[in-house]
Amino acid sequence: MMANCCGLLTSQKEPVPLKSVEVELEVRDHVATVVSTLNYENKEDKPLEAVFVFPLPGDAAVCHFSAKIGQTHIVAEVKEKQEAREEYDDALSSGQQAFLLEESEQSPDIFSLSVGSLPPGESASIRLEYVIELAVQADEGLRFCLPAVLNPRYQPQGSEGGNIQVTSVPASLVPYSLSFSARVSSPRPVSKVESNCPLDPLQYLNTEQTRATVKLAAGHKFDRDVELLIYYKDAHQPTAVVEAGQASSKPGTLMGDPVVMLSLYPEFPQAVTSSVASCGEFVFLLDRSGSMDGPMNNSDNHQTCIGSARDTLLLLLKSVPLGCYFNIYSFGSSYEHIFPKSVEYNQKTMEEALKKVDKMEADLGGTEILEPLKHIYSQPCIPNQPRQLFVFTDGEVGNTKEVINLVKHNSGSHRCFSFGIGEGASSALINGLAKEGGGHAQFITGTDRMQPKVMQSLRFALQPAVVDISVTWDLPKGVSVTALSPPITAVFQGQRSLVYAQFTGQSSEASEGCVTVKYSLAGHPSQNQLHFSLRPAEDTGLTVHRLAARTLIRSLEMEERECEEEEDGGVKKKKVVELSVQSGVSSAFTAFIAVNKGNSEAIQGPLVRRNVPTPMMMACCMSQCLPMSPGAPMLMMDCGLESYADEMDDMDISVNSGFGASWSSSDGHLPKQPPRDPLLQLVSLQKASGCWVLDPDLAAALGKTSEEVEMPKPASVNQDVWATILALTWLHGFKMDAQEEWELLAMKAVSWLRAQKASCVKECVEAGNALLGCNVQKDALGI
């Protein structure tokens, strides 16, 4: 079925015209401008059309596209998509050079670039620019990701296919190089910049350390996403940036008026953030498609995505408070659930669930996420148990927009927390699920452990939902405001909310505005205020306008999909096209088109099509799967979209994303599972109530014999109390570096101990320290 096109062009050593990629990143506070230059050269003796399909972050606003051929420089215009395609085809058929850049119909994080009629011996340089807001991570770093990896998107049965087939060749055959440099500036000092790829040292450009540059170390193979984490001192400051309108645009239009970007960081009262809800329905949805069998990262610890997800579910199930409800779904080409409907969380249901989780493998084929979501939403909500949905996926779906629409449609009944696992998870899918589901998105890549990020999201889920959110403006007379962002639907402690708005009109006297965000939290009304100057900031270009246009375009696209059935569906589409053309920002219904009308001589000869490899994390050649290096690149061909890794899983061939097939060892036996992490071993023994039991398994987890553990127990102390204090002492004594992972289950243990009104606690802690060889204070345990 696939034997005729895997790695076809490159394995036959035919030249591919992309020679190099240069990326320059400029970060101002939490907004990034990215300029990519792609250099092509046609070394063949015939004119070429090159097709280059590549990923961009799903929420990027592509705002400039130009090409330089020889000495001729042409800047692309944004036009309605069909019109742009026709213009491109017309140009090629009349022998002119043309360039077409368009966003995928199915997912806003995939673009295709067609380079038309590159004459023999000619070079072309393509410049692409986009702006993007950087997401705040759990540790307050700002995350920028340059996707190198475009994992094949699994196209569900019966859904509309795209027109791209995914194939691949080994990483060593990527015929182009990458250079990457970044400039960072902020009102606050830059404390550090980290990356999953080797960087040259950070260079500060001023003594205040508010401006710095950093470069990717030479020799990067572009075999993985380039992820930068940027840390500022005192990052959580609310800010407002007002940007002047474009002089050439009409006042009253989005581009002609000033636009403000507000970054708000709501602060909750301490009493609310320290308390943890004791109710909720927790639904965990786990991807078990074939690609989840791939490694979490390129290191040697052999942890697979599915293995890490199993460990994470263990921690989650131990941390859920008694009195809650839960269920676990898993999906691939089909889906399964552990219980017919959510059940009350207790020792019996927790044990039953964990037995089944332990057996979960990446063996369910493709990535059909829509059907399990529909089943979850069809279940009636449980009174006084707010539904919290946790979705774990490597994000390889072809029907991204349909999935996000479904979550939005059900956003009133639940919060959705999403986790993108491994390289190449679709940012459009992961961010879209959380944004429309009023939750929080996390990306787990490189050497990240999944557990700390997931436990942070569980803390958010256990915070009471913020309701009745409103944003009010106090502006000088004569100035009116138009909101460009959808209403804020979710607010979490310490998490940024971004608001864009357009100011129309002039004020003669006052030049200050004020915005107030009001909300209700656990029955308490609360508000945060920000005063700001209406004077436009200098040197922002049109960055804020473009991001605001992108936000509005995305909202309108979603509304258009919702009312496609109705008569006014076309009205929204028309608005999107108008706004996209006016702002010069890409959308699902427009494309960038550039035609070189200056070359008087028509290009002679038949046009040969070449598809350019793009790095990805899957490898397959001809009809066999062979072990290959991580980050094997991918070739795009013109046929129906399919993910062969997930397909092969349907055919009982085990594909290991990034390392080819899963092979058994030379004696024919599968490699032994690595021994379980001591922390997870101890956690697995905790009861649903929060306590531990004094038994040989606990002794083994603590590295002791049963006698050694039983001997020092104070005579009057109950065995379970002694076991629980020992476990807590061990966690505090040896695992403080992983406290985020066990903090919630430790709180449950402390609540259980308090309920026992245990005596001799101090004596037990001292005896526990002596036994385990640590020095933990009783107060540190919180008992």
Looking at the structure, tell me whether residues 286 and 216 fall in a common domain: no
Comparison of pLDDT for 24 and 17, the residue scoring more: 24
Among 39-43, 109-113, 153-157, which is the least confidently predicted range? 153-157
Among 93-107, 150-164, 456-470, which is the least confidently predicted range? 150-164
Going by C-alpha positions, the residue among 45, 12, 31 that lies closest to residue 132 is 31
In a domain, 652, yes or no: no
pLDDT of residue 297: 65
In a domain, 259, yes or no: no
Looking at the structure, tell me whether residues 182 and 326 fall in a common domain: no
Contacts of 273 (CB under 8 A, 6+ apart): 463, 493
**How many Å from the N-terminal Cα to the C-terminal Cα in the chain?**
63
Confidence of residue 667 (pLDDT cuts 50, 70, 90): very low
The CATH number of residue 210's host domain is: 2.60.40
The answer to whether the CB of 72 falls within 8 A of the CB of 141 is: no
The DSSP code for 731 is H
pLDDT of residue 223: 67
Among 464-468, 572-576, 670-674, 702-706, which is the least confidently predicted range? 670-674
Whether the pLDDT of residue 174 is over 60: the answer is no
In a domain, 645, yes or no: no
Whether the pLDDT of residue 43 is over 80: the answer is no
pLDDT of residue 196: 83
In tens, the pLDDT along 767-780 reads 999 999 999 998 88
Confidence of residue 176 (pLDDT cuts 50, 70, 90): low
Question: Buried (b) or exposed (e) across 117-127, using 16+ Cβ within 10 A?
Answer: bbbeebebbbb
- 364, HSE (Cβ side, Cα atoms, 13 Å): 23
pLDDT of residue 707: 92
In a domain, 707, yes or no: yes
Domain stops at, among 445, 462, 479: 462
Whether the pLDDT of residue 462 is over 50: the answer is yes
Confidence of residue 149 (pLDDT cuts 50, 70, 90): low
Q: How far is it, in rounded angstroms, from Cα 61 to Cα 37?
A: 17
Q: Rank 78-92, 169-183, 505-519 by mean pLDDT and report only the highest.
A: 78-92
pLDDT of residue 461: 84
pLDDT of residue 621: 24
Whether the pLDDT of residue 697 is over 90: the answer is yes
Whether the pLDDT of residue 64 is over 70: the answer is yes
pLDDT of residue 327: 97
Looking at the structure, tell me whether residues 225 and 288 fall in a common domain: no
Looking at the structure, tell me whether residues 321 and 434 fall in a common domain: yes
Contacts of 419 (CB under 8 A, 6+ apart): 390, 391, 392, 393, 430, 441, 442, 443, 444, 450, 453, 454, 457
Q: Which domain holds residue 699?
A: 678-781
Whether the pLDDT of residue 614 is over 70: the answer is no
In a domain, 569, yes or no: no
In tens, the pLDDT along 524-558 reads 888 888 999 998 887 778 999 999 999 999 889 88
pLDDT of residue 564: 60
Confidence of residue 329 (pLDDT cuts 50, 70, 90): very high
pLDDT of residue 438: 86
The answer to whether the CB of 85 falls within 8 A of the CB of 101 is: no
pLDDT of residue 657: 31
In a domain, 470, yes or no: no
In a domain, 632, yes or no: no
In tens, the pLDDT along 419-449 reads 988 777 788 899 899 988 988 888 887 667 7
Among 198-202, 234-238, 345-349, which is the least confidently predicted range? 234-238
pLDDT of residue 592: 94
pLDDT of residue 299: 54
Q: Rank 264-273, 401-410, 720-729 by mean pLDDT and report only the highest.
A: 720-729
pLDDT of residue 684: 93
Looking at the structure, tell me whether residues 318 and 420 fall in a common domain: yes
pLDDT of residue 118: 75
Going by C-alpha positions, the residue among 769, 757, 756, 764 that lies closest to residue 723 is 764
Looking at the structure, tell me whether residues 218 and 286 fall in a common domain: no
The answer to whether the CB of 585 falls within 8 A of the CB of 553 is: yes
One DSSP character per residue, 232-268 reads ETT----EEEEEPPPTTSPTTSTTTS-EEEEEE----
Looking at the structure, tell me whether residues 227 and 345 fall in a common domain: no
One DSSP character per residue, 433-457 reads HHHHTTS-EEEE-TT--HHHHHHHH
Looking at the structure, tell me whether residues 125 and 70 fall in a common domain: yes
Mean pLDDT of 683-711: 93
Confidence of residue 8 (pLDDT cuts 50, 70, 90): very low
In tens, the pLDDT along 570-591 reads 788 999 999 999 999 999 999 9
pLDDT of residue 675: 56
The CATH number of residue 439's host domain is: 3.40.50.410
The SS3 of residue 62 is strand
In a domain, 261, yes or no: no
Beta bridge partners of 173: none
Looking at the structure, tell me whether residues 292 and 414 fall in a common domain: yes
Confidence of residue 510 (pLDDT cuts 50, 70, 90): low
Looking at the structure, tell me whether residues 352 and 207 fall in a common domain: no
Looking at the structure, tell me whether residues 225 and 343 fall in a common domain: no
Q: Residue 240 carries which side chain, given as an amino acid letter?
A: A
**Torsion angle of alpha carbons 98, 104, 108, 114, nearest 10°?**
-20
The strands making up 135-136's β-sheet, listed across from edge to edge, are 135-136, 142-146, 226-232, 190-195
| Count of structural domains within the chain | 3
Domain stops at, among 424, 447, 462: 462
The answer to whether the CB of 214 falls within 8 A of the CB of 199 is: yes
Whether the pLDDT of residue 509 is over 90: the answer is no
Mean pLDDT of 612-625: 32
Comparison of pLDDT for 398 and 766, the residue scoring more: 766
Whether the pLDDT of residue 235 is over 90: the answer is no
Comparison of pLDDT for 676 and 476, the residue scoring more: 476
Q: Rank 465-469, 666-670, 732-736 by mean pLDDT and report only the highest.
A: 732-736
Looking at the structure, tell me whether residues 135 and 227 fall in a common domain: yes
Whether the pLDDT of residue 167 is over 70: the answer is no
pLDDT of residue 652: 35
Q: What percent of the chain stands above pLDDT 70?
A: 80
Whether the pLDDT of residue 1 is over 70: the answer is no
| Burial bucket for residue 706 (CB in 10 Å: 0-12, 13-18, 19+) | middle
Whether the pLDDT of residue 11 is over 70: the answer is no
Mean pLDDT of 659-684: 55
- Mean pLDDT for all residues in the chain: 79
Domain stops at, among 399, 429, 462: 462
